[in-house]
Structure 1
Amino acid sequence: MQKPLAYRMRPQTLEDIVGQKHLVGEGKIIRRMVDAKMLSSMILYGPPGTGKTSIASAIAGSTKYAFRALNAATDTKKDLQIVAEEAKMSGTVILLLDEVHRLDKVKQDFLLPHLESGQIILIGATTENPYISINPAIRSRTQIFEVTPLDEEEIKETLLRALNDSNNGLGNESVQIDEQALQHLSRVTNGDVRSALNGLELAVKSTPCQSDGTINLTLPIIEECVQRKSLTHDKDGDAHYDVISALQKSIRGSDADAALHYLARLVEAGDLLSINRRLMVIAYEDIGLANPAAAARTVTAVQAAEKLGFPEARIPLAQVVIDLCLSPKSNSACASIDAALADIRIGKVGDVPPHLKDSHYQGAEQLNRGVAYKYPHDFPNGWVSQQYLPNKLTNVHYYKPKETGKYEQALLHQYCKIQQQKKK
């Protein structure tokens, strides 16, 4: 039985990896490890299909070390012992341990001395946050790297590579894929390479040849194979971003009916990832300090939608869209950080005042670090007048409060009160 396309197209060297340039690009950490032949155990974490296994196999291919793959949940201590014996004989084995967050204490205790000796280079793969889910004993012996979803162009590059590869891919098939179909497949899989390749392979294998022997993949075929509808068959392929933009602008404009319309179009397309991400952006960018509780409710609704999946996810999403539409609006937090960043980027920085500098080291007092600092908690109302901004920015005001919600009205009152005390 032939292995799946996603398996066959797995990178053999670091040069074959598409995406993850922050880890495997020229001069980046994993590339440096491989080039220097100084591998250390690591944990790769990120969403499914983003290349964790691919990086592990590429590291093994680039270093010529033996490569073994196990699953922490289903494989036993005996399986680990076999790998350890092989490591004793060959010198070093790279062990990809999937679902590493489910490694129990017995297996962990067995692995630790082999990690210490360097006989086993562990590459743990997990979708869970390793700082929360991985045992500290393992975590302290590994470097932790985040693997991110591929962007649309990187997915497209991978698909075209598979279509042209005659050894491992679909290059021996005469496949013609419409640009709209390729774009849809690259977009709706949300950075999951495995899903994109699986959808492509199903489309090729299940589509009858034309009279000239070619397999023509159209947008409806791809929609069926990935079970995700295109928002519209527009020529330029901008509809996806247009609808997301319209959703945000409708919420910002407090039009609940329009926002629900655009939400429904995204729900029908099955694009939960884009919906969730955009709603959280909206909650903090457009509602912000006018109603911080709405932001918290948005995060809760997004988490519920992720756990429920479609079709039920539509319910908490609709609820939070209505909530955000009819909430008071404020972009003051977004505008204030952007104003501060604008100053930083033109070099308007200035030195940190001496009394604010770190004083927790020997000799700091002689350097006048932190000497004149006034501890606000020692003063009535927890406030004391002292300079915090650098000298060249003492009169700058980044935060400009709005009065569109009770919460920010209270912040405005406190902000003005502090400014008046400063003037005194």
Structure 2
Amino acid sequence: MLLQLDIFNILIQGGKGLKPLAYRMRPQKIEDIVGQQHLVGPGKIIDRMVKARLLSSMILYGPPGTGKTSIASAIAGSTKYAFRTLNAATDSKKDLEIVAEEAKMSGTVVLMLDEIHRLTKPKQDFLLPHLEKGSIILIGATTENPYISINPAIRSRTQIYEVKPLTEEDIKQAIDRALADTENGLGKMNIELSSEAMTHLTQATHGDLRSTLNALELAAKSTAPDTKDGKVHIDLAIVEECLQKKALVQDKDGDAHYDVISAFQKSIRGSDTDAALHYLARLLEAGDLISVNRRLLTIAYEDVGLANPAAAARTVSAVTAAEKIGLPEARIPLANAVIELSISPKSNSAISAIDAAIADVRQGNYGDVPDTLKDAHYKGAEKLGHGTDYKFPHDFPHDWVKQTYLPAKIKERQYYHAKENGRIEQAFKKQYDLLRQAQRK
């Protein structure tokens, strides 16, 4: 049962100023990083940099709580370089000057600069020569797309790496480590976490490890030990309270979370608008905006497709708006998209066509590219007969001319089988059939 304690007192531990669990559990070397194995795994780019002690400045971008600061901390710990953290939005140029002075004395400083997309030009101009010399190894962190939000002068001097949301297994690994660690974690508290509580912790924050660990610590330190066995028992209700997210879409095994996502897509595919809105509501109430957005984009192209291409474009706009405004307002553009996709005519002809083409390629059902289509821009191509008989369609009436495009081995193959569930694809089918017949006369 949760004690009626002031959260502030829990977090500062009676005035001791104890740092949050997520901070204390930050890895001190590359091997301890949870997730991001595409960057830090054996033989991957950051692992190689650390082992060779040839660090490059970099920008890490991705969702909050996915390990950007942890990677920076681990890089510094593994290389034994001095490590400093600043925030581009709140720390001043003077703070950067202090780091630069330290770099002069120690040789190299790894600087973790959070919210690097908010770096002002005076701060940027000060940093650039230090990045050029390598005295400061900059590790910038941002949740924004760096190709859009970060000045080209900084981008040109850094490597850009995407940090991905942690998987449920990654989150579980971090929780187990925190529960076992007696020095920085909660290992001295004799905590027993129920399987339902563990599942909710791994799912509800959608890859945000910082939120997960801080909620776990709040749950542990605000729950009285059992008088019988002395253990701190943390169940699903306690975790829900500390995360402020109800377990609306999970069961004991966590399978129902995926069942709801599956039902969401199948309801739209089946044109049941009310059922689709119901499952949308369950996902949004659980805070799973990421799954909703990803699934809607898939549905728009997989299930509606060429029957209503404009609906796909409007779904992209709705998802973009939802990502920018966040919950709870995100429910509005998403509801618009769900209703339109549900009511819209459906066609899976595009996914069926590409899957059929891929199946052919994987089975070896392909031949040599016709000579007329081969690249003719290099010296000697004419002698090989490459591109010599190619007919440029724009030189002919209606910008079309009959010629062979498929390899001879599969020249009669047809992948696209148009449907007639909407006026748009009806028109596509008519045009496709006319062109196919003309090509094969």
* Range of TM-score over shorter length: over 0.9
Q: State the alpha-carbon separation in 2 of the partners of residues 271 and 245 from structure 1.
A: 14
2:291 matched to 1:274? Answer: yes
Alignment of 1:101-116 (within 5 A): 101-116=117-132
2:423 matched to 1:406? Answer: yes
Q: Which residue of 1 aligns with 2:96?
A: 80
Q: State the alpha-carbon separation in 2 of the partners of residues 55 and 116 from structure 1.
A: 22
2:277 matched to 1:260? Answer: yes
2:162 matched to 1:139? Answer: no
Cα deviation, residue 354, structure 1: 4.3
2:43 matched to 1:27? Answer: yes
Q: State the alpha-carbon separation in 2 of the partners of residues 86 and 229 from structure 1.
A: 47
Q: Which residue of 1 aligns with 2:26?
A: 10
Cα deviation, residue 367, structure 1: 5.6
TM-score scaled by length of structure 2:
0.91
Q: State the alpha-carbon separation in 2 of the partners of residues 35 and 347 from structure 1.
A: 42
Among 322, 331, 335, the residue aligned to 1:305 = 322
Q: State the alpha-carbon separation in 2 of the partners of residues 350 and 156 from structure 1.
A: 48
Per-residue Cα deviation, 1:43-89 (whole angstroms, up to 9, x for no partner): 11111111111111111111111111111222222222222222222
Asked if the contact 1:8/1:168 (under 8 Å) is kept, the reply is yes
Q: Which residue of 1 aligns with 2:105?
A: 89
Cα deviation, residue 233, structure 1: 6.3
Q: State the alpha-carbon separation in 1 of the partners of residues 384 and 140 from structure 2.
A: 46
Among 138, 163, 168, the residue aligned to 1:122 = 138
Secondary structure of the structure 1 residue equivalent to 2:187: coil
Secondary structure of the structure 2 residue equivalent to 1:172: helix
How many residues matched?
A: 424
Asked if the contact 1:25/1:31 (under 8 Å) is kept, the reply is yes
Among 49, 67, 71, the residue aligned to 2:83 = 67
- The 3 A distance-change label for structure 1 pair 110 and 234 is closer
Q: State the alpha-carbon separation in 1 of the partners of residues 380 and 49 from structure 2.
A: 38
Among 270, 283, 301, the residue aligned to 1:284 = 301
2:265 matched to 1:241? Answer: no
Q: State the alpha-carbon separation in 2 of the partners of residues 12 and 369 from structure 1.
A: 58
Q: State the alpha-carbon separation in 2 of the partners of residues 356 and 109 from structure 1.
A: 50
- The 3 A distance-change label for structure 1 pair 138 and 370 is farther
Task: Among all aligned residue pairs of Structure 1 and Structure 2, give the percentage whose two residues are the same amino acid.
Answer: 70
Q: Which residue of 1 aligns with 2:223?
A: 207
Asked if the contact 1:99/1:125 (under 8 Å) is kept, the reply is yes
Q: State the alpha-carbon separation in 1 of the partners of residues 327 and 216 from structure 2.
A: 23
Among 51, 57, 68, the residue aligned to 1:52 = 68
Deviates more, 1:129-138 or 1:340-349: 340-349
Q: Which residue of 2 aligns with 1:230?
A: 247
- The 3 A distance-change label for structure 1 pair 67 and 366 is farther
Among 150, 153, 162, the residue aligned to 2:166 = 150
Cα deviation, residue 371, structure 1: 4.2
Report the AA paired with residue 56 of structure 1: A
- The 3 A distance-change label for structure 1 pair 40 and 309 is closer
Q: State the alpha-carbon separation in 1 of the partners of residues 219 and 364 from structure 2.
A: 53
Q: Which residue of 1 aligns with 2:115?
A: 99
Q: State the alpha-carbon separation in 1 of the partners of residues 326 and 157 from structure 2.
A: 36
Among 180, 184, 204, the residue aligned to 1:164 = 180
Q: State the alpha-carbon separation in 1 of the partners of residues 146 and 375 from structure 2.
A: 31
- The 3 A distance-change label for structure 1 pair 173 and 353 is farther
Per-residue Cα deviation, 1:195-244 (whole angstroms, up to 9, x for no partner): 11111111111112111321111111111111111125633321111111
Secondary structure of the structure 2 residue equivalent to 1:44: strand
**Structure 1: 5+ residue stretches without partners:** none
- The 3 A distance-change label for structure 1 pair 363 and 96 is farther
Q: Which residue of 2 aligns with 1:218?
A: 235
Q: State the alpha-carbon separation in 2 of the partners of residues 92 and 372 from structure 1.
A: 62
Q: State the alpha-carbon separation in 2 of the partners of residues 368 and 103 from structure 1.
A: 56
**Structure 2: 5+ residue stretches without partners:** 1-16
Alignment of 1:247-396 (within 5 A): 247-360=264-377, 369-396=386-413
Cα deviation, residue 359, structure 1: 4.6
Per-residue Cα deviation, 1:364-402 (whole angstroms, up to 9, x for no partner): 556655444433333322223333333433222222211
Asked if the contact 2:304/2:345 (under 8 Å) is kept, the reply is yes
Asked if the contact 1:231/1:239 (under 8 Å) is kept, the reply is no
TM-score scaled by length of structure 1:
0.94
Q: State the alpha-carbon separation in 1 of the partners of residues 102 and 210 from structure 2.
A: 30
- The 3 A distance-change label for structure 1 pair 397 and 243 is same
Asked if the contact 2:58/2:139 (under 8 Å) is kept, the reply is yes
Deviates more, 1:96-105 or 1:325-334: 96-105
| CA RMSD of superposed structures (Å) | 2.0
Report the AA paired with residue 423 of structure 1: R
Cα deviation, residue 326, structure 1: 1.0
Asked if the contact 1:14/1:59 (under 8 Å) is kept, the reply is yes
Q: State the alpha-carbon separation in 2 of the partners of residues 365 and 122 from structure 1.
A: 52
Among 155, 160, 181, the residue aligned to 2:197 = 181
Report the AA paired with residue 238 of structure 2: I
Q: State the alpha-carbon separation in 1 of the partners of residues 126 and 249 from structure 2.
A: 55
Cα deviation, residue 308, structure 1: 4.0
Cα deviation, residue 306, structure 1: 3.3
- The 3 A distance-change label for structure 1 pair 405 and 94 is same
Cα deviation, residue 345, structure 1: 2.8
Report the AA paired with residue 239 of structure 2: I
Q: State the alpha-carbon separation in 2 of the partners of residues 412 and 364 from structure 1.
A: 37
